A and B are shown apart, each in its own frame.
Chain A
Amino acid sequence: MSKSSNVSVRSNVMLDDVDHKHMYRFLPGDFAAQVYPECRDVRSFERLLTKTQLIEKQQYLICMLCKRPCAGTCRLTQLK
């Protein structure tokens, strides 16, 4: 919460009511893909997840080139 830092604790709770019935939309993208099988399915996940969730999910995908979850930052991806 210090002003000299841009890192802060984020809330991880959501209201449990009828307005928020699509619970998976409020989960971090990688976590949603982990616990909801339909969010892992390549045929449906782009439709189900929000834009932020898609970015979050991609952060943890294993890179084909460097074999690590590099989120497209590895040298091999840059060269390609």
Chain B
Amino acid sequence: MARTGFGIDFGTTNSILAFHKIAGRVTTPCRDVETGMPHASVLWYRPGEPTKAGVTAKKHVSRFSGVAGHSFVQSVKQHLGKRAFFDVCGTNKPAGEIASDLFRFLLNEARSHYGVNPQSGVVTIPLYFDGHARRELRRAAGDAGFHVTSFLHEPFAALIGYVCKSKSRTELKRMAGQNVVVFDWGGGTLDVTVARIEQEQISELATAGLPTYAGNYFDSLLSSYVRRLFYDEKNIPADGAVIPPGAKDRFLFETERCKIALSHDPAYTMQLAAFCEYRGAEYDLKQPVTRQAFEQEIRPTVDTACRLVDNALESAGITARQVDLCLLVGGTSLIPLVQQEMRERFGHTIVSIPDADSIIAEGAAIADAYGMHAAFADTIALELSDGTYHPVFCKGEVALPSACSRTLNLFCTDNRDGQARLILGLYDSKRRVFDRKAVVVTPVSPELPRPYHHEKIVLDLVVDQDLVLGIHAKAATRLPEETVREELIDIRYAVSLAGIGDNE
């Protein structure tokens, strides 16, 4: 039986599951059957009632938010790995459990409307997701009955989706040597990846991320701008007005709607009944907002994003002119100002992606179907005291947890300050560039015994199933509980394209 791969894009604003059947090479995103859109990452809880999620939950926010017995949770992804809790109908529910409910909803939708039974697959993650967040996400998926075979960076998954979804073997060969920029600006994060398509693989050359400054942040900028305008117009002091709890959520959703509308219309009028109360009087909101004013508010953040792209290109060692392909992914990339800035940089290399809202999940499904294992795109090396670099994991080595563990026996060359400094990074032997990623300070004895003997250190490096490099270091003279433990997540990966398009 031909294999079917599953991929989940667990997003801050929207989430979607996709599956890829190798036979026929068909990728299907499991969209909301009513709207044809990805599922909104919103959950609606009522005591004694089944949990609702997606578009249904989002539709009811304006009616029931703030009403006793109704709780809505959105953007749960941003709270994973932070030991966050949400007040759900009077009880404290951990973020992981809420994420699990969302996973369950996505799986049920796929089962009931698309006739597939997803049990395992690839889940995508933003670049900033640390070990805690990855573990909580894996646990949440597992609790919902979905085993995460591997994680994949979101922009990288989008690129895999774009390249492998429909390109023939010949087209893939023709694409070899191309440099690609993936600009993934969604609701929760901005992730930039510079990658290169090679004969049989795609490798990340550089990655850069901007957590928090994304769609949700633009919503908050827009909402404070509108509030400011409204209060000025009505002569209400900002600290005197009271926005009822229900109106807060409705206002946020109206703000999001306004932001989306401004992407295709030059102006939009925000309207909300019973928006705020001041001195016993109730005020409705009717506030026109122009695209120009909105762009003025978000300009500094867009400039920061552009600098991030420039930095990513610089660290990849290429210029904007050497970019052959630019993919704009995520809802925030649709903002005209963002598109204009990207066009100025990358011009005609920007391609329009069909199904841009599901391309990340589709890439993850393809990666699962073909069993693509992440391999190191760079050599991970340890800096030594003589200025040389000792390779620990080599470029191209598959990052499988069973295979990726190393133990190094070291000695400290200068223990007078009572610390051994272990510096790990990515080493590019061609360009002779060492990109420092972690400085692990391990306590050692500062004593100088006579005759002198060196302080020995044991360094263990293990890549786990969440693609997190665990760094454990301990001086031989120290107790086991004094082991220094750190994690390195900022690692670039490559995947093999072998087998893609073979059956054509």
User: Does B423 lie within 8 Å of A31, measured CB to CB?
Assistant: no
Contacts A11-B383, A11-B384, A12-B420 given; does A23 touch B411 at CB 8 Å: yes
- Residues of A1-40 at the interface with B, using a CB-CB cut-off of 8 Å, are 1, 8-17, 23, 26-28, 31, 34-36
Per-position contact with A for B422-455: 1 when CB-CB < 8 Å, else 0? Answer: 1100000000000010010000000010001010
- Residues of A32-53 at the interface with B, using a CB-CB cut-off of 8 Å, are 34-36
24 residue pairs from A and B, CB less than 8 Å apart: A9-B439, A10-B385, A10-B421, A11-B423, A12-B385, A12-B413, A12-B420, A13-B385, A13-B412, A14-B384, A14-B385, A14-B413, A15-B408, A15-B410, A16-B409, A16-B410, A16-B456, A17-B409, A23-B413, A26-B384, A26-B385, A26-B386, A28-B413, A28-B414
Q: How far is the CB of B433 from chain A (nearest CB, A)?
A: 13
User: Does A14 lie within 8 Å of B411, measured CB to CB?
Assistant: yes
Contacts A23-B454, A36-B452 given; does A11 touch B409 at CB 8 Å: no
Q: How far is the CA of A14 from the CA of B421 in the complex (A)?
A: 10
* Cβ contacts under 8 Å, B383 to chain A: 11
Consensus secondary structure, chain A interface? loop
Q: How far is the CA of A27 from the CA of B383 in the complex (A)?
A: 15
Query: Could you list 10 further interchain pairs (A-B, Cβ under 8 angstroms) beyond the known A11-B382, A15-B408?
Result: A8-B436, A9-B421, A11-B421, A12-B412, A13-B384, A14-B411, A16-B409, A16-B411, A26-B413, A31-B414
Judged by a CB distance under 8 angstroms, whether B457 is at the interface is yes
* Cβ contacts under 8 Å, B420 to chain A: 12-13
Q: How far is the CB of B484 from chain A (nearest CB, A)?
A: 13
Q: How far is the CB of A69 from chain B (nearest CB, A)?
A: 15
Chain A residues near B (Cβ < 8 Å)? 1, 8-17, 23, 26-28, 31, 34-36
- Residues of B123-172 at the interface with A, using a CB-CB cut-off of 8 Å, are none
- Residues of B377-393 at the interface with A, using a CB-CB cut-off of 8 Å, are 382-386, 390
Judged by a CB distance under 8 angstroms, whether B46 is at the interface is no
* Cβ contacts under 8 Å, B452 to chain A: 35-36
Q: How far is the CB of B311 from chain A (nearest CB, A)?
A: 10
Q: How far is the CA of A31 from the CA of B385 in the complex (A)?
A: 13
Chain B residues near A (Cβ < 8 Å)? 382-386, 390, 408-416, 420-423, 436, 439, 448, 452, 454, 456-457
Residue of B nearest to A26 (CB): B413
User: Does B385 lie within 8 Å of A11, measured CB to CB?
Assistant: yes
Q: How far is the CB of B374 from chain A (nearest CB, A)?
A: 26
Residue of A nearest to B436 (CB): A1
Q: How far is the CA of A31 from the CA of B417 in the complex (A)?
A: 12
* Cβ contacts under 8 Å, B422 to chain A: 11, 13
* Cβ contacts under 8 Å, A9 to chain B: 421, 423, 439
